[in-house]
Amino acid sequence: MSSYKLKVLLTGAAAVGKTSLVQRFIKNKFQANYKLTVGVDILTKEIEYKPGEIATLSIWDIGGQQRFEFIRSTFYQGAAGTLLVFDLTREQTYQETRKWLTEIRQFAGENIPFILIGNKADLLEDVGRVINQEEAKKFAENENSIYIETSAKTGIHVDEAFTELTRKIINSRT
């Protein structure tokens, strides 16, 4: 049985819910109060990506603030894959995913596997759709990825996002 140790990144604009996603995934909890990630937080979790196959994820939750841009490049080194997260209620954060993808590929490698994540799905009822779901899907597919909508608050599709990324990474290596 092969056991993988994978460094995965959480990337995307500030306040899109990266820290909330990783907290939900690892501790199965949600905190409503926003706390700025300064630099990077690193958490670890084992994941069963297919029956009987375990990978250990070292999850790097990277600060999305503009002012951290100069130190971010060092975090990308050795990354196996990334979740590229935007906020479903803020169009601007979706627009910025292209810029993020360029940055990720520049520092982590052109072919790094990623999953595009639209987070805060729980707010859509109140806010309505501001991002065209089909367009997001198309963008992801064109970049050899998939698109998943998550909610760190309710936990919907959070485990799936990490599992899909893990599978994508491992499939890209075999």
The Cα–Cα gap between 55 and 161 comes to 14
- pTM for the model stands at 0.93
Chunked into runs of 10 residues, the chain (174 residues) has average pLDDT values of 86 94 91 74 92 94 76 88 97 96 94 98 93 96 97 97 97 88
23 lies in some domain: yes
32 within a domain of the structure (yes/no)? yes
**Per-residue model confidence (pLDDT) at position 132:** 94
Q: Is 132 domain-assigned?
A: yes
The confidence score (pLDDT) of residue 21 equals: 96
17: domain CATH number?
A: 3.40.50.300
pLDDT value of residue 139: 97
Which residues are registered as beta bridge partners of 148? Answer: 117
- The token pair that represents 61 in the structure block: 């939750």
**93 occurs within a structural domain:** no
User: Which residue(s) pair with 53 in the sheet?
Assistant: 50
In a domain, 92, yes or no: no
Residue 133 lies in a domain: yes
- Give the up-direction half-sphere exposure of residue 145: CA atoms within 13 A in the CB hemisphere: 25
**How far apart are the C-alpha atoms of 88 and 122, rounded to whole Å?**
9
Q: What per-residue confidence (pLDDT) applies to 2?
A: 60
95 is a domain residue: no
DSSP codes, the chain? ---EEEEEEEE-STTSSHHHHHHHHHH-----S-----SEEEEEEEEEEETTEEEEEEEEEE---GGGHHHHHHHHTT--EEEEEEETT-HHHHHTHHHHHHHHHHHH-TT--EEEEEE-GGGHHHH---S-HHHHHHHHHHTT--EEE--TTT-TTHHHHHHHHHHHHHHHH-
Cα 99-145-156 angle, rounded to 5 deg: 95
Q: Which residue range forms the structural domain that includes residue 65?
A: 4-87+103-173
Domain count, the chain: 1
